[in-house]
Structure 1
Amino acid sequence: MPTPEAAPAHTHPAEGARHGRLTARPALTTATAEPGTRRLTGQALLHVPRTTRPPTRLAVVLHGAGGTAGQALNWLSPYADTAAALLLAPQSISSTWDMIASGYGPDVTRLNAALHETFTRTTVEPGRVAVAGFSDGASYAISLGVTNGDLFTAVLAFSPGFMAPLVRHGRPRFYISHGTDDRVLPIERCSRRLVPRLRKSEYPVTYEEFTGGHEIPAPTAADAMRWWTQE
């Protein structure tokens, strides 16, 4: 099995963690994980839903600045059973993600290790891997989604600020939400600029505005999960 730094044949040799590239990919396995939440050695939490059949769908959930992996799980875990979705929540090394703090590298490597471990422990179908996030985590999710669209087929971004991909692969679809009264990341400077940029680049985007501030309302989280699972 390749190490987190190893690049598969389809990845350009000049691209790696410092470009935001992830090399972990779903693999055929008979392994199944018991329902519940457990900590992985790759510094992340893995939540396995209670379902009648083993879940084969995975969402990576990224916390906001100063947040925790546990907080990130709480946003989507109420809907994981119905969606039959595994949730993987990594913890950033610094107070926020590497792209925002100092440039891609350490957190990409950590996430890659967590994904490798998840794909070893569970069966995840290619084409059913998404990345989600809130605030700084949403900015990171969009950036990683554009960079790794050959892994992530969907991006769920709640109140993002910006995107900063260094390379682009694949063509994921996007669900973006933002509160019209957001004072932390004002909608006019953030999503109302981001969404047209993504659409201009011909990415499919579902965009929802809600009356509220810097938050993820429960109905919005539920709607995003339905959007993802009803592809």
Structure 2
Amino acid sequence: MSAPAEARTNSARLAARPVAAAVDALPAGRTALDHGAIAYRPAGIAAPMPLLVVMHGAGGSAANMLQPLEEAADRHKVLLLSLQSSGRTWDLIERVGRSPDRVPRADFGPDVRRTDAVLRTLFQRVPVDPRRIVIGGFSDGATYALSLGMANAGLFRGVIALSPGFFVFPDRTDTRQRLFVAHGRKDDVLLFAQAEGIAGLLRQAGADVRFRPFDGGHQISRAIVDEGLAFALGG
């Protein structure tokens, strides 16, 4: 399912934006937020701070997605926000799975509204650098992050897609947005060729994309996360 969908992404729009006068009221460590989301603030991070929003894979959770990324957040001094899908996976992927032809379409649902609500809350509680906000995910979460992130290029400087299965094109591709796509050559869950196809389509659209193959399976690699963060944040 590496082909793009029709451009119909109005329902993907996020209205939340960082608040310049936000009071710094988020403690170090993990903080539970609404809709099952969890924020992680590294010790010693200064405001306004960069933000990485992350999305778990199918059957996963905000907590288990956060765990392998906390050390990266500590190293890069990045605030983490791990989101929780409303169903077993993200609404876009669930709707593709239920469609008769299984063709990806920009059919977003309640997870967009949940994401917007959590971001609004976070932006009220901590000063975030509006120039350094990145969204990322793994597996189904990578599919969703790439699709939602590209539809909201005004909010997200970059996207980190770790082992995505497909994506849907936004109405317009913002060539200033940095897109990082990584996939294991031995992945037996989502085929490596799918990610190659995604990277090719993004390049054809004029996107600033870095495709990073690696010798591994369906997994999150520390080195890949470090490279993705540095690239997406503009380092």
| Common fold: TM-score over 0.5 | yes
- Structure 1 vs Structure 2: percent identity of aligned residues? 37
Moved more, 205-214 or 166-175: 166-175
* Distance (whole Å) between structure 1 residues aligned to residue 45 and residue 16 of structure 2: 27
Which residues in structure 2 correspond to 1:136-155 (within 5 Å)? 136-155=140-159
Moved over 6 A (4+): none
Q: How far 1:118 moved relative to its partner?
A: 0.6
Corresponding residue number in structure 2 for 1:86: 79
TM-align CA RMSD: 1.8
Indicate if the aligned counterparts of 1:63 and 1:136 stay in contact, CA closer than 8 A. yes
* Distance (whole Å) between structure 1 residues aligned to residue 66 and residue 203 of structure 2: 29
Gaps of at least 5 residues in structure 1 are: 1-13
Flag the structure with more relative contact order, 1 or 2, with Cα contacts below 8 A and sequence separation at least 6.
2
Equivalent position to 1:174, from 164, 174, 179:
179
Indicate if the aligned counterparts of 1:51 and 1:81 stay in contact, CA closer than 8 A. no
* Distance (whole Å) between structure 2 residues aligned to residue 138 and residue 15 of structure 1: 17
Does 1:98 pair with 2:91? yes
Indicate if the aligned counterparts of 1:156 and 1:174 stay in contact, CA closer than 8 A. yes
Gaps of at least 5 residues in structure 2 are: 1-7, 96-106
Q: How many residues align?
A: 215
Which residues in structure 2 correspond to 1:1-231 (within 5 Å)? 16=10, 19-32=11-24, 33-51=26-44, 53-54=46-47, 56-102=49-95, 103-165=107-169, 167-168=171-172, 170-171=174-175, 172-188=177-193, 190-231=194-235
Q: How far 1:223 moved relative to its partner?
A: 2.1
* Distance (whole Å) between structure 1 residues aligned to residue 32 and residue 22 of structure 2: 21
1:76-97 CA-partner distances (Å, limit 9, x unpaired): 2111122121111110000000
Paired amino acid for 1:82: R
Paired amino acid for 2:184: G
